[in-house]
């Protein structure tokens, strides 16, 4: 097999969970530094604390990240491997960056897997957001969403939660909402709010946000799939619709990914171009689907003929269903056996058994038989 480099020289692939953590840290980092709590990492990945801690240590042992624990503050993670910071997988689109710089409210629309949340995570990088008060809101009930906003306002120093008449958990939703509005409206500077999946939030929480968005000192960047469900919000935003990646963008992503990790590909440069082409045809330029194939490639550690055939070109083959042949053979064999008994022919009886055995053997091996569609 002609590969661009030998298998034994390729670096061992990262476990999928460690790769996912690295991508989240990269997406939320600024100048290679990310401040995030372990609880937030668990929420974003769906992994337990033990699993998150285990794979963070994997990243540290590989020399990709390091971290600094701080008393009563989220951990600060720093990328040690410059290659990770140098090759972001899906950077912030220029049109979104320009609008955010100007202080506009931006609504990022796109289908599932188009990279809306990933784009949203990049917005707070590169000095685009000047205000230190940065709030975020994802899918949550009305009470949980309001409590989350108040906790973040407390961390930003705009609200002393201990000074409230009751703990947040005992306040009514109306009182929580009034406290959020009052605190934000009295903030000395602008307040930035990132809302993921705006159309998936409960209607009651969306109605509250509609009032929050009208405050002059609030800048909002949100994502959504279904524009019809949030018609009342559209007037408050400049809408940016995400389209699938072009074939050239897909090829550049695949080549950067493969070359940065020194993954051997069958056929060298031509094989790499063929790989990028097949990935584009299978995914249609959907970033999440492309990322799924890239993770499979990294997990395998190399790209060979079987990967191209089975992962990227499965529609070229179909399996032959031999069930009908077995049923037909069984019926014919039974008929021949009864005829042989009536004619007292031992030869026919033996042949019937042989043909039935051959049919069963062919049925067992039929999964290996395939043909082009």
pLDDT tens-digit series, residues 206-233? 999 988 888 888 999 999 998 888 888 8
Q: Report how far residue 112's alpha carbon sits from residue 159's, in angstroms, rounded to the nearest whole number.
A: 36
DSSP for 282-339 reads HHTT-HHHHHHHHHHHHHHSSB-HHHHHHTS-GGGEEE---HHHHHHHHHHHHHHHHH
Which is higher by pLDDT, 316 or 50? 50
Q: Over the stretch 97-127, which tens digit does the pLDDT of each residue have?
A: 888 888 889 999 988 888 787 788 778 655 6
pLDDT value at 369 more than 80:
no
Task: At 128, list the tokens.
Answer: 């685009």
Residues 57 and 18: their CA atoms lie apart, in Å, by 9
- The string of pLDDT tens digits covering residues 129-152 is 777 888 888 888 899 999 989 988
Query: DSSP 3-state assignment of 81?
Result: coil
Whether residue 31 is predicted with pLDDT greater than 70 in this model: the reply is no
| pLDDT of 167 strictly over 90 | no
Least confident of 63-77, 337-351, 357-371: 357-371
Averaged pLDDT for residues 15-29: 78
For the record, the structure tokens of 355 come out as: 């043909």
Q: Rounded distance, CA 172 to CA 170, Å? A: 7
pTM above 0.75, yes or no: no
Indicate whether 63 pLDDT > 60. Answer: yes
pLDDT of residue 87: 45
Residue 3 pLDDT greater than 80, yes or no: no
What band does 82 get if pLDDT is binned at 50, 70 and 90? Answer: low
Pure H helices in the chain: 16-27, 38-45, 49-61, 82-86, 94-101, 116-122, 142-155, 173-185, 203-213, 247-260, 268-283, 287-300, 305-310, 323-343, 346-365
| Beta bridge pairs of residue 66 | 78
Q: How far apart are the first and last CA of the chain?
A: 27
268/109: higher pLDDT: 109
- Averaged pLDDT, 275-282: 87
Predicted local distance difference test score (pLDDT) of residue 256: 81
Please, what is the average pLDDT of the chain?
80
For residue 70, the surrounding DSSP H or E stretch is strand 65-70
Q: What is the mean pLDDT of residues 181-198?
A: 90
**Are the C-beta atoms of residues 66 and 84 closer than 8 Å to each other?**
no
The mean pLDDT value for 352-360 works out to 75
């Amino acid at each position: 097999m002609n590969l661009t480099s030998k298998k034994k020289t390729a670096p061992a692939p990262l476990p999928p969970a460690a790769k996912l953590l690295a991508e989240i840290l990269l997406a939320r980092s600024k100048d290679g530094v990310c401040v995030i709590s372990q609880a937030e990492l668990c929420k974003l990945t769906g992994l337990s604390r033990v699993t998150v801690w285990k794979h963070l240590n994997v990243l540290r042992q590989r020399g990709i990240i390091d971290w600094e624990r701080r008393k009563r503050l989220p951990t600060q993670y720093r990328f040690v491997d410059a290659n990770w910071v140098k090759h972001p997988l899906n950077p912030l689109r220029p049109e979104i960056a320009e609008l955010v710089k100007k202080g506009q409210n931006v609504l990022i629309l796109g289908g599932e897997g188009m990279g809306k949340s990933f784009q949203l995570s990049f917005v707070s990088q590169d000095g685009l957001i000047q205000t230190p008060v940065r709030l975020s809101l994802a899918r949550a009930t009305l009470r949980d969403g309001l409590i989350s906003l108040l906790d973040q306002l407390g961390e930003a120093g705009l609200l002393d939660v201990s000074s409230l008449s009751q703990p947040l958990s005992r306040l009514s939703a109306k009182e929580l909402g009034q406290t959020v509005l009052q605190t934000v409206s009295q903030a000395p500077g602008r307040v930035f709010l990132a809302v993921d999946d705006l159309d998936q939030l409960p209607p009651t929480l969306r109605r509250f946000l509609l009032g929050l968005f009208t405050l002059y000192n609030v800048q909002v960047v949100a994502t959504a799939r279904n524009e019809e469900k949030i018609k009342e919000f559209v007037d408050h935003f400049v809408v940016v619709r995400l389209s699938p990646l072009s074939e050239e963008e897909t090829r550049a992503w695949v080549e950067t990914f493969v070359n940065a990790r020194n993954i051997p590909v069958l056929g060298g440069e031509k094989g790499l171009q063929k790989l990028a082409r097949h990935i584009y045809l299978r995914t249609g330029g959907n970033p999440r689907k492309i990322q799924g194939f890239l993770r499979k490639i990294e997990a395998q550690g190399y790209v060979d003929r079987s990967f191209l055939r089975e992962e990227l070109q499965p529609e070229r083959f179909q399996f032959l269903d031999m069930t009908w042949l077995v049923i037909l053979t069984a019926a014919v064999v039974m008929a021949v056996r009864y005829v042989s008994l009536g004619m007292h022919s031992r030869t026919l009886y033996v042949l019937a058994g042989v043909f039935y055995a051959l049919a069963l053997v062919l049925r067992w091996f039929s999964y290996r038989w395939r043909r082009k569609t």
